[in-house]
Amino acid sequence: MERTGDGYRLSTGKEFYANLGLLSVHPADPMVCSEGYDGGVAESQVREEWEDDAESAEKFTPAERREIAEFMIALWQRFGGIA
């Protein structure tokens, strides 16, 4: 997973928007991924171009979800001085 100008690119080539590169997981629903301070990423926001139609979105595969999780775990480990 690598940072792009306005989001991230997964190893599969799929890109998604993340305001300021910020990603988070909702504590009450770990299947909800958010970006920035007020936007959703999750599976409803993965697009080749920004669209308002969530029906056109591609879903993350299990491998892509794991890639995002491992990326975020590594950031939290650095934050906590663990890695």
In this prediction, residue 78 has a pLDDT band, given cuts at 50, 70 and 90, of very high
More confident: 83 or 82:
82
Look at residue 39 in the predicted model and tell me its pLDDT.
67
| pLDDT tens-digit map of 14-45 | 888 888 888 888 777 777 777 766 666 655 44
Neighbours of 16 (CB within 10 A): 25
Read off the pTM. 0.73
Contact 14, 25 (CB under 8 A): no
Mean pLDDT of the chain: 78
The Cβ of residue 41 has, within 10 Å, a number of other Cβ atoms equal to 24
